[in-house]
Amino acid sequence: MFYEVLQTEKAYRVQEKNTFLITFKAGANPTKIQVQQMLKKNGLNPLKVNKVVPHKKRKSRNGRRTNVTISRPTKYYITLKEGETLIQETNEQEQVTN
């Protein structure tokens, strides 16, 4: 499963506590245990995994006739051991292009 680390203001605030906010691609909705096992395979030691399911948005189409519900991706708060991170750090030399 492929996950994406969210880079929002709220995500940066919780990173101070060594907690990272991730989502998965559409259609993938793993359980907390599956997320924990996946991270352990990648060499990380999650201390805690919290799953947050946001409410669905309601949109109207064709005026008032048709209402559609749009689901949003499930968010996972991953708390890691001190010194571990989900964010890939890049060297400054690689970012400089000639």
Alpha-carbon distance of 49 to 32, in angstroms, equals 6
Q: What is the pLDDT of residues 51-98, one digit of tens each?
A: 998 888 888 887 777 888 888 889 999 999 888 888 775 444 344 444
Q: Which two tokens stand for residue 27?
A: 């259609």
Which 3-state string (H, E, C) describes 47-73? Answer: EEEEEECCCCEEEEECCCCEEEEECCC
Report pLDDT digits (tens) over 8-20.
888 889 988 899 9
Domain CATH number, residue 15: 3.30.70.330
The reply to whether 45 falls in a domain is yes
Domain count, the chain: 1
